[in-house]
């Protein structure tokens, strides 16, 4: 089974792309959703986050206050790095358990926003990078998160630049407003299947 990472900057549309791969019967592990689940439900992780960012990081219902946490970690690179060290090993363990269910598949996808920044790309056979221009990305995030442009640009600045990611990717999907996604995805699907046969 080929392990393929799929990544892209915030607002690039990697989740939309992943949903299309699912239609091709390719299992997708959503690392960011799994991280969110662990942050809200794993007692050990919640304790570590409270120790790092303070008990007010969680609401009275025990749910991580994502806006408050984002305001802290995206303005403090050390805290961002510490937060990633708490979350990434736990998510990786869940992923390895998840993979066991799909040994019969030609390949699986691991979707994560900071796959390349975190150095996780070495754990995958191939990498798909989803790209979109900054204007398109900002427009999507404003609609999705109802947040302001300044906050979005802060988050974008904390992610690796697209030109750096392109060097590390095996496949590129252009996902701007007028991009035709299906032909790009079908071509990559075929290439990954062929790659799997030659291993």
For residue range 67-120, what is the model confidence (pLDDT) as tens digits?
899 889 888 889 988 998 999 899 999 999 999 999 999 999 999 988 988 888
pLDDT of residue 152: 73
- Clarify whether residues 53 and 111 are in a common domain: no
- Clarify whether residues 35 and 100 are in a common domain: yes
pLDDT of residue 90: 94
- Clarify whether residues 168 and 78 are in a common domain: no
pTM exceeds 0.85, yes or no: yes
| Ranges 61-65, 117-121, 141-145, most confident | 61-65
pLDDT of residue 146: 60
- Clarify whether residues 187 and 199 are in a common domain: yes
- Clarify whether residues 47 and 83 are in a common domain: yes
* Higher pLDDT among residues 105 and 198, named by residue: 105
Domain that holds residue 120: 1-27+107-199
- Clarify whether residues 19 and 115 are in a common domain: yes
Q: What is the 3-state secondary structure (H, E, C) of 131-181?
A: ECCHHHHHHHHHHHHCCCHHHHHHHHHCCCCHHHHHHHCCEEEECCCCCCH
Q: Is the pLDDT of residue 8 over 80?
A: yes
Choose one of 104, 134, 162: the last residue of a domain.
104
Chain mean pLDDT for the chain = 91
In whole angstroms, give the CA distance from residue 192 to residue 167.
18
Choose one of 87, 104, 121: the last residue of a domain.
104
**Tokens 């900054």 label which residue?**
134
Choose one of 104, 136, 164: the last residue of a domain.
104
Query: CA gyration radius for the chain?
Result: 17
- Clarify whether residues 143 and 91 are in a common domain: no
- Residue 176 belongs to a domain with what CATH number? 3.40.50.300
- Clarify whether residues 112 and 191 are in a common domain: yes
Q: Is the pLDDT of residue 5 over 70?
A: yes
Ramachandran sector of residue 16 (left: φ over 0; alpha: ψ -120 to 50; beta: rest): alpha
Q: Is the pLDDT of residue 133 over 70?
A: yes
- Clarify whether residues 96 and 113 are in a common domain: no
- Clarify whether residues 15 and 111 are in a common domain: yes
* Higher pLDDT among residues 190 and 150, named by residue: 190
How do the residues of the chain divide into helix, strand and coil, expressed in percent and rounded to 5? 60, 15, 25
Q: Is the pLDDT of residue 7 over 90?
A: yes
Render pLDDT for 39-50 as a digit per residue (tens, 0 to 9).
999 999 999 999
Q: If you average pLDDT over residues 42-70, what whole number do you get?
A: 93
Domain count, the chain: 2
- Clarify whether residues 59 and 90 are in a common domain: yes
Residues with Cβ within 8 Å of residue 166, at least 6 apart in sequence: 129, 131, 172
């Amino acid at each position: 089974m080929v392990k393929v990472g799929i990544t892209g900057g915030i607002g690039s549309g990697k989740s939309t792309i992943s949903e299309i791969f699912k239609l091709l019967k390719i299992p997708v592990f959503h690392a960011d959703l799994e991280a969110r689940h662990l942050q809200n439900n794993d007692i050990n992780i919640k304790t570590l986050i409270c120790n790092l960012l303070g008990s007010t990081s969680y609401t009275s219902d025990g749910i991580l206050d994502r806006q408050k946490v984002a305001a802290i970690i995206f303005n403090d690179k050390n805290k961002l790095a510490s937060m990633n060290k708490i979350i990434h090993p736990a998510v990786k363990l869940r992923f390895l358990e998840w993979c066991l269910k799909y040994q019969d598949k030609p390949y699986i996808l691991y979707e994560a926003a900071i796959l390349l920044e975190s150095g996780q790309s070495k754990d995958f056979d191939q990498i798909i990078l989803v790209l979109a221009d900054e204007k398109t990305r900002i427009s999507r995030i404003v609609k999705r998160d109802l947040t302001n442009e300044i906050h979005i640009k802060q988050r974008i600045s904390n992610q690796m630049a697209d030109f750096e990611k392109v060097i590390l990717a095996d496949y590129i999907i252009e996902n701007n407003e007028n991009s035709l996604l299906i032909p790009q995805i079908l071509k990559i699907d075929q290439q990954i299947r062929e790659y799997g046969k030659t291993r």
